[in-house]
Structure 1
């Protein structure tokens, strides 16, 4: 494994089988329990520079490749001496190559699915209440639509942040 060039899912599978690398999953624990490469360690991006990382070659993974690329850059800035690379496309690339992921029992639904369920329910509730109770309830649907539009434009989703701290989304590892 070269020190900084990306690795493919097939190359990673071969190196894992040979026990030549350690996979570090830089997603949040809630994402990790929902499906991860078997044997990977979960060290979120927010803690990667403080973590006591294993010696030897590391492959960083996330959901899309963005966070693992950021983690890679941070570790390179710190001058990590051991070989270091990431998996472009993240865990989905691993799955698309035909490799399985390990899911922990009782893992919460992915956060974006929770947002879709909550937003859809609130929009539907606003429409129903505007017809059955009072016309002003339609503003609930408008408020949710405005929030989703803002989230899409800004990249900040208040509903996702709120759902992430709910008790059913707390995972202990």
Structure 2
């Protein structure tokens, strides 16, 4: 289920046990986040699926940049048997566009911008290299094909690779935080 920003705000006001879980990278979370939210990056959830079973009984709202990663996380939580999980429709972008409060930290590049820089740089470099070595044009074609595939499937292999870089993992929560954030009762809220 998708919830608009205003509905999420009302849900949190009505039920203090609602968990706001941001599944973006640690660096994205550090830059801007919904007040009271906790960071459990999507890749951390993927790597520690076994810990997701039987860890919560409160409603959870998943947040990411646009809603795509949050929907993927909802699928992981559903596979683990967790219910009462919704997604912030439009993600943090929609939240801020509608004027809802955010907590800002140190500015860092978001993952989408990193993908654009990396893909654009590889295409530019391979086109320039192809002026001397014609076979390099195939690298540009490969990246272009990857971007087209990413657009069609709404997934991005390059983004998955970039999420693994230390820059994007700086401050990533420990796997034990999964149970703590999604755990039962108010004691897990920090």
TM-score bracket, normalised by the shorter chain, equals 0.5 to 0.7
User: Which protein is bigger by CA-based radius of gyration?
Assistant: 1
Q: Compare relative contact order (CA 8 Å, sep 6+) and give the higher one, 1 or 2.
A: 2
TM-score by length of 1: 0.68
Give the whole-Å Cα distance in 1 for the aligned partners of 2:54 and 2:22.
11
User: How far did 1:156 drift?
Assistant: 5.2
Task: Return closer, same or farther for 1:169/1:51 CA change in 2, 3 Å cut-off.
Answer: farther
TM-score by length of 2: 0.63
Q: Per-residue displacement from partner, 1:52-109 (whole Å, max 9, x unpaired)?
A: 54x7x5341223152464367457x45x7xxx453440333322331032233154x2
Give the whole-Å Cα distance in 1 for the aligned partners of 2:105 and 2:96.
16
SS at match of 2:104: coil
Give the whole-Å Cα distance in 2 for the aligned partners of 1:68 and 1:41.
14
Task: Return closer, same or farther for 1:87/1:138 CA change in 2, 3 Å cut-off.
Answer: closer
**Alignment root-mean-square deviation, CA:** 3.4
Task: Return closer, same or farther for 1:10/1:21 CA change in 2, 3 Å cut-off.
Answer: farther
Task: Return closer, same or farther for 1:130/1:6 CA change in 2, 3 Å cut-off.
Answer: closer
- Tell me, yes or no, if the aligned pair for 1:62 and 1:68 is still in contact at 8 Å: no
Give the whole-Å Cα distance in 1 for the aligned partners of 2:5 and 2:149.
35
Where do 5+ consecutive residues of structure 2 fail to align?
174-190
Size of the aligned set, in residue pairs, is 160
Give the whole-Å Cα distance in 2 for the aligned partners of 1:6 and 1:118.
31
1:38 aligns with 2:43: no
Task: Return closer, same or farther for 1:74/1:102 CA change in 2, 3 Å cut-off.
Answer: farther
Give the whole-Å Cα distance in 2 for the aligned partners of 1:139 and 1:7.
43
